[in-house]
Structure 1
Amino acid sequence: MTGELSPIDKAKFVAAKRAAEFVEDGMRVGLGTGSTAAWLVRCLGEMVEQDGLKILGVPTSTRTAQLAREVGIKVISLDEARWLDLTIDGADEFDADLSLIKGGGGALLQEKIVATASDQMVVIADAAKEVEHLGSFPLPIEVIPFGWQTTQALIEETLVSMDVMGRQASLRMNGSVPFVTDEGNHILDLHLGRIGNPRQLAMVINQIPGVVENGLFIDICDKVVIGYGDGRVETRDINEGTVSEDRLDFVETDNLFRDI
C-alpha cells in the first residue's frame, strides 16, 4: 500500500499518475521500460479497468509488454501502430534542456525507436534524476556481440577527443555472463562523469562500427513530469516554455499496488 512506499517510490508514483492524465481514449501509446514506467503502466491499467479507457500500447521491452497485458492494456507492435500519439517513459538523468540519458534497464534501442515514432514524448522521473550536466549516470551503448572488445577499444580511443571527464567503458553483466538485450546485443556502460557536449558525443559514438545505438536522447523529450516524495508534481514543457506544479493525494488501490 502507499503507506509502505519509500519516498522515492511515492515520487515515481505521483509522476506516473500525473503523466497518465495525458493519455486520451483511442490513443496509441508508447510504454517505457523501468521502475518509473512500470508505475505508469499500472496507472493506465487501472484507468482501463475502472474508467473504460481504450488505448493501444506499444511496449519498449518484453518486460513492459508482459506487465501491460497483465493489467489489461491491449498490446500491439510498432509496425502495427506505425505512428504513436504519445510515448511516456522514465529516464536515468535529464538536464535543463530535457536531454536525457536512458538505458539503465537495457532497453535503450527500442525506447529510442518508439519515442522518435511519436508525436510527443513525456518523461516521468523523481527529482533526483535532474542534473546540471549529464554523465554521472553511466552512458549505455548498445553494441553487437561480434567484436565487442574491438568496439570498446574504438569507443575509448574516441573519447580521448571528447569533452568528458572519464573514459572507462565496461561490459554490462548479468551475473557471470554478459547482459543481452531484447535484440540480442550487449551493452557497454561508459563511465564519463560529465558530458560537456551531449549532441556531439551522440553523433560521434554512433559512427563507430559495432555500435547499434547510444543512450543519449537529444531533442526527443517534450515534457518532463517530476515527482516528489511529499506528493508534489512539477510539469515542464520545453516547447511551451511553461512550468506548472500541483500536489496529488495518495489513494490506496489494491489493483495498482499489488505485488509491490
Structure 2
Amino acid sequence: MEHKWEEVFNLLSAGVYPPECVKSQKYTLKCYASKFTLQGEDLFFEDKKAVKSREEARALFEEFHIAPNGKHLGIGKSRRALCAKYYWFGMTRDIDKWVPECDKCKTRPLALAPIKIKKLARKPLQICRAVLNKKVEEAKKRAAYAAVDYHVKDNQIVGIGSGSTIVHVIKRLAERVRKENLNVFCVPTSFQTRLLIQDIGLMVIDLNRHLEIDVAIDGADEVDSELNLIKGGCGCLTQEKIVASCAKSFIVIADYRKDSSALGEQWKKGIPVEVIPMAYVPVSRAIQSQFGGSADLRMAVSKAGPVVTDNGNFLLDWRFDQEHNWSAVNTTIKMMPGVVDTGLFINLAERVYFGMEDGTVKIRDKNML
C-alpha cells in the first residue's frame, strides 16, 4: 500500500518512475496516477485524501467504524463513511476484513430467526414464469461475469451501464476487487447505478474529471446481427451513450431473448427517444410523419404523469412498422429540434456477450462480422 502511494507521489512530484519499470508498466502507472492530484505533501483522489500507510488506514477505520453514539457500524456503513473522505489502495478489501475482526462486532447477539410463513401454492402459470425468470437471470449473470472477467483489468476506469443486467456486473466487479485487490474506478450512467456502486463499496468517479474510460459495460434491449442496439428501456439512454462514446471499448451483455437478426424482431416496445418536455408533441408528429409507426409518450407506473429521466426530460417510445436504415434514421431524429438523443446505438458496440438458455455464453464481435 505504502509502496503504491510512493510510486504515484514520486511520479506526480518529480516525474520519476520506479527503476524496475518497463515501458508497459510506466504507461499503466501514468494512467493510474492521472486520477490523483498533488497538494503539498499529500495525494488526493478527487476530493478524498489518499492514505499513505496501512497503520494510518487502520487508525481511520477505528475512528469511523464507531458512530458518535457509540454504535459500531456494519461493513456497508463503514465503507460509505470512509469513502466520503478518504481513499487508500485496497480499502474495500480491508474494510470487509476489519469489520468482522472487531471484538465488539464479534460478540453481537444473533438476530432472532425470522418467522416462517407458509407459502401459498402457486398456480401452473406462476410456476412457469418463475422458472423462466430464473433462467433469464442466470443467463444475464453468465454474460455479465464473462464480460467483467475478460475486459476489466487493474487500474482501469470502467463505465457501468444501467438496468437489471448491470446488477450482476457490479456484483462481479466487487468480488474481483476484493479477491484480487484491484484498483477500479466506476463511472455510472444513472442515479440508480451510482447508488448500487456506492452501496457495494466500489469507487465512483466523475466523467467531467476523467474523460477517457478504459471499458464500458452495459446491457441492451435488443441486438441485431450487425451489433446495432436498441437501448433505453430503463430510461437512461443519453447518459449511457455518453459513457459508451467516451470508452476505448464498449462491451454489451444480454440474455438470449435480446439476440435478433434485425431490430424489432424481439423487442416490441419501440425505440426510446429522449426529448425536452415542451417538444414531445412536435417530435412525436415529426417521427410519425417521416418514418411511420407511432411515437407515444412513456407514462409512469408508480406515479401520475409521464416518466421523467435523470436529466429532467420526457421519453417517447417509437414503435416502427418496417425496417429502416438505422444510421440514417438515428441522424435524422437527432436533428429534430427538441430531441436530446435516441436509443439507437449504431457502430458503438465492440463485442456482445449473450447468456444462452443452455448455460453457454455466445459472443458476437464486430471484427468477426
Alpha-carbon separation, structure 1, partners of 2:218 and 2:282 = 32
Partner of residue 53 from structure 1, selected from 177, 182, 186: 182
Corresponding residue number in structure 1 for 2:278: 146
Contact 2:220 2:254 in 1 (8 A): yes
Deviation at 1:5, TM superposition (A): 6.6
Alpha-carbon separation, structure 1, partners of 2:167 and 2:297 = 26
Equivalent AA in structure 1 for residue 174 of structure 2: G
Partner of residue 294 from structure 2, selected from 168, 181, 187: 168
Equivalent AA in structure 1 for residue 339 of structure 2: V
Contact 1:48 1:72 in 2 (8 A): no
Corresponding residue number in structure 2 for 1:124: 253
Aligned-partner SS, 1:85: strand
1:188 aligns with 2:316: yes
Alignment of 1:30-69 (within 5 A): 30-69=159-198
Contact 1:141 1:213 in 2 (8 A): yes
Contact 1:168 1:192 in 2 (8 A): yes
Higher relative contact order (CA 8 A, sep 6+): 1
Alpha-carbon separation, structure 1, partners of 2:136 and 2:321 = 23
Corresponding residue number in structure 2 for 1:72: 201
Equivalent AA in structure 1 for residue 169 of structure 2: L
Alignment of 1:80-119 (within 5 A): 80-119=209-248
Q: Deviation above 6 Å: which 4+ runs of structure 1?
A: none
Compute the TM-score of the two structures, normalised by the length of structure 2: 0.61
Partner of residue 331 from structure 2, selected from 203, 206, 209: 203
Alpha-carbon separation, structure 1, partners of 2:256 and 2:133 = 16
Cα deviation 1:75-104 (Å, max 9, x = unaligned): 011112211010000000001110100000
Alpha-carbon separation, structure 2, partners of 1:214 and 1:8 = 26
Aligned-partner SS, 1:124: strand
Deviation at 1:193, TM superposition (A): 4.0
Alpha-carbon separation, structure 2, partners of 1:170 and 1:78 = 32
Corresponding residue number in structure 2 for 1:217: 345
Cα deviation 1:195-238 (Å, max 9, x = unaligned): 32111110111111111100100100000011023321122221
Equivalent AA in structure 2 for residue 12 of structure 1: K
Alignment of 1:4-19 (within 5 A): 6-19=134-147
Alpha-carbon separation, structure 1, partners of 2:294 and 2:133 = 36
- 1:6/1:154 Cα in 2 relative to 1: closer, same or farther (>3 Å)? same
Deviation at 1:4, TM superposition (A): 11
Contact 2:279 2:337 in 1 (8 A): no
Equivalent AA in structure 1 for residue 344 of structure 2: L
Percent identity of equivalent pairs:
39
Corresponding residue number in structure 2 for 1:158: 290
Corresponding residue number in structure 1 for 2:16: none
Equivalent residues, number? 233
- 1:23/1:207 Cα in 2 relative to 1: closer, same or farther (>3 Å)? same
Q: CA RMSD in A?
A: 1.7
Contact 1:58 1:78 in 2 (8 A): yes
Deviation at 1:124, TM superposition (A): 0.3
Alpha-carbon separation, structure 1, partners of 2:323 and 2:311 = 27
Corresponding residue number in structure 2 for 1:258: none
Larger Rg: 2
Alpha-carbon separation, structure 2, partners of 1:223 and 1:151 = 32
Equivalent AA in structure 2 for residue 19 of structure 1: A
Alpha-carbon separation, structure 2, partners of 1:74 and 1:18 = 21
Alpha-carbon separation, structure 1, partners of 2:366 and 2:298 = 33
- 1:235/1:145 Cα in 2 relative to 1: closer, same or farther (>3 Å)? same
- 1:85/1:150 Cα in 2 relative to 1: closer, same or farther (>3 Å)? same
